[in-house]
Chain A
Amino acid sequence: MSDLRDLYQEVILDHNRSPRNFGPLEGADLKADGHNPLCGDKISIAVKVEDGVLTDVRFEGSGCAISKASASLMTEGVKGKSLDEARAMFERFRQLVTDQNALVDPSLGKLAVFAGVRDYPARVKCAILAWHTLRAAVDDNHDIVSTE
């Protein structure tokens, strides 16, 4: 098993302690809810879209350090991106946390800290919940996203 510090990197712990873009988003254009029944993680993502660009992204909910930090870093990462770019980032992020052999895509920026998750299969769902939920929001899908 890899070093625990590869999973719980300082950036992740920081975003867990002080999540960015956390709280309600007034006047949101799109919203979605996500749930990981396995560990009880719950997350809501709200976004504002102007001309196909995510001008604001905020989240609410509760969860483990990995899921909270993932949501927090995601909101920072996708803000200012187009909907299509956000969808593409979702795919790159999924590859980052699931593919043992994937090289870290430099376009992911700070999100690269989640590469350690791939060594903890039980925690992949924690890392990816926010992204699935964002994806549902931008696709305007109103079903509650579940990891199970």
Chain B
Amino acid sequence: MTGVARTESEDSAHVLDETRIREQFPILTSMVGDRPLVYLDNAATTQKPRVVLDRLSRYYAAENANIHRGVYQLSQVATDAYEGARAKVARFLHASDPSEIVFTRNATEGINLVAQTFGRSTLGAGDEVVISTMEHHSNIVPWQLLCEEKGATLKVVPISDQGELDLDELDVLLGPRTKLVSIVHMSNSLGTVNPVREVVERAHARNVPVLVDGSQAAYHMKVDVRALGCDFYVVTGHKLYGPTGIGALYGRRTLLDAMPPYQGGGDMISSVTFDKTTYNEVPHKFEAGTPHIAGAIGLGAAVDFMTSIGFEPIVAHERRLLEYATNALTAVPGLRLIGTAPQKASILSFVLDGVHAHDIGTIVDTEGVAIRTGHHCTQPVMDRFGVPATARASLAMYNNADDIDRLVGALTKVREVFG
């Protein structure tokens, strides 16, 4: 198979081998009715490579035991695998130390954890949290709940018609009462990649910490939390080619140490009496109860998988594919892309004249093409662009030009039905 853009041929060793990549994802050979599956809903969740499936299976078949405090060998094996996964995630995000990685259920829980610990202990009446128009509901609602409880205010940085963050307005909104900036690294409905480093610099200049929602970014580009300078960074495993039900929160160690616990229970304590309980060290202070051990180990395998391929070829492949898809889609009569920021990655949100996104989704599905339609948990973005919903094709490392051609072909069928 040739390279993504078909017209290009590159002899670099860093070109992704499409066939080899695709072979590692068993689901990609499945059929939808009589059509081979074209999976373009990666922003919702990515498919899983065999190494991740095998790792989960091996854990349950050969290593399953509860972790921490087990004196028997099997428990130690499980503990080592779980803590080993934490170290892998720490390396993946370029954290200084594994203790800065807290396992969560997903990115949503990571944000809620920060809101309920850091947020609750820091915010008071009249204080402010700054987010942006392009946030996922998971980076809006936890702050609304917190602000309501504390009598604080949520400030929203607007975005441009292309879907870019208004950094000048960020400067205006950052004030003496700002206690936190919480911003998405890459928009799930627009594809915009935000200048996080710049946001952090502007916030830190006013001593305001920054949380970054990396749900979308972390499988499309190398994430280096120290280079970004952010204070918190959340990811979700199922978008990193890993299992559902597992995510991770990176937190700067000094902040994590100072934060109160999240949930109470086993494993998060160092001693319990009815008079006084002392809490375990970070990150265990934030991981009450038996965690998703298999999930964490599976996530470890998933980040190893991405690291073994390397982000250089992944980024190059997805960039070429995005360009190919952008050209192919904009050539479809009546199609308008929503989200055209110069800095964007791997997401194509669009509307089609006279056809509701939901109808598009149903019709392309009959051609075996899976895309998402709706507001993508970003209703303020839909309002900003004055559309009730969009259709969204989102790319991952295993997508290729054939997938885009199939999508465009399926959109022709939409026109046939709707005239």
Segment touching A, from B144-152, B193-201, B352-360: B352-360
CB–CB B356/A4 < 8 A: no
Q: For chain B residues 124-182, which have a beta carbon within 8 Å of chain A? A: none
CB nearest to B418 among chain A residues: A13
B363 interface residue per 8 A CB criterion: yes
CB–CB A40/B388 < 8 A: yes
Task: From A1, A5, A13, A126, give the contact of B358 (CB < 8 A).
Answer: A126
Nearest Cβ distance between residue B329 and chain A, in whole angstroms?
20
B62 interface residue per 8 A CB criterion: no
CB–CB B388/A4 < 8 A: no
Residues of chain A with a CB closer than 8 A to B417's CB:
4-5, 8, 13
CB–CB A7/B362 < 8 A: yes
CB–CB B418/A39 < 8 A: no
B389 interface residue per 8 A CB criterion: yes
CB–CB A65/B375 < 8 A: no
CB–CB B375/A40 < 8 A: yes
Task: From B355, B362, B389, B418, give the contact of A122 (CB < 8 A).
Answer: B362
Residues of chain A with a CB closer than 8 A to B366's CB:
1, 4
CB–CB B33/A1 < 8 A: yes
Residues of chain B with a CB closer than 8 A to A13's CB:
417-419
CB nearest to B390 among chain A residues: A40
B374 interface residue per 8 A CB criterion: yes
Q: A1-B33, A65-B418 given as contacts; is B359 within 8 A of A41 (CB)?
A: no
A38 interface residue per 8 A CB criterion: yes
A80 interface residue per 8 A CB criterion: no
Task: From B359, B362, B374, B418, give the contact of A38 (CB < 8 A).
Answer: B374
Interface residues contributed by chain B, number (CB under 8 Å): 20
- Report, as a range, how many residues of chain A touch the other chain: 20 to 34
Residues of chain A with a CB closer than 8 A to B349's CB:
none
Q: For chain A residues 39-61, which have a beta carbon within 8 Å of chain B? A: 39-42
CB–CB A64/B358 < 8 A: yes
B67 interface residue per 8 A CB criterion: no
Task: From B356, B375, B382, give the contact of A63 (CB < 8 A).
Answer: B356
A62 interface residue per 8 A CB criterion: yes
Q: For chain B residues 107-139, which have a beta carbon within 8 Å of chain A? A: none
Q: CA of A54 to CA of B32 in the docked complex: distance in angstroms?
A: 45
Residues of chain B with a CB closer than 8 A to A15's CB:
none
CB nearest to B388 among chain A residues: A40
Task: From B32, B358, B363, B413, give the contact of A39 (CB < 8 A).
Answer: B358
B244 interface residue per 8 A CB criterion: no
Residues of chain A with a CB closer than 8 A to B373's CB:
39
Q: CA of A40 to CA of B358 in the docked complex: distance in angstroms?
A: 9
CB nearest to B33 among chain A residues: A1
A94 interface residue per 8 A CB criterion: no
CB–CB B374/A123 < 8 A: no
Q: CA of A40 to CA of B362 in the docked complex: distance in angstroms?
A: 15
A73 interface residue per 8 A CB criterion: no
Nearest Cβ distance between residue B83 and chain A, in whole angstroms?
40
Q: A4-B366, A40-B388 given as contacts; is B359 within 8 A of A64 (CB)?
A: yes
Nearest Cβ distance between residue B178 and chain A, in whole angstroms?
31
Q: CA of A120 to CA of B389 in the docked complex: distance in angstroms?
A: 19
Q: For chain B residues 241-274, which have a beta carbon within 8 Å of chain A? A: none
CB–CB A40/B374 < 8 A: yes
Residues of chain A with a CB closer than 8 A to B389's CB:
39-40
Give the B-binding residues of A (Cβ under 8 A): 1, 4-5, 7-8, 13, 37-42, 62-66, 120, 122-123, 126
11 contacts between A and B (CB under 8 A): A4-B362, A13-B419, A37-B375, A39-B356, A40-B388, A41-B388, A42-B388, A62-B388, A63-B388, A64-B356, A120-B362
Q: A13-B417, A39-B389, A126-B358 given. 15 additional CB < 8 A pairs?
A: A4-B362, A5-B417, A7-B362, A8-B359, A8-B363, A8-B418, A13-B419, A38-B374, A39-B357, A41-B358, A62-B388, A63-B356, A63-B388, A65-B418, A66-B358
Give the 3 A-B residue pairs with the shortest CB-CB distance, closest first.
Answer: A40-B388, A64-B356, A64-B358
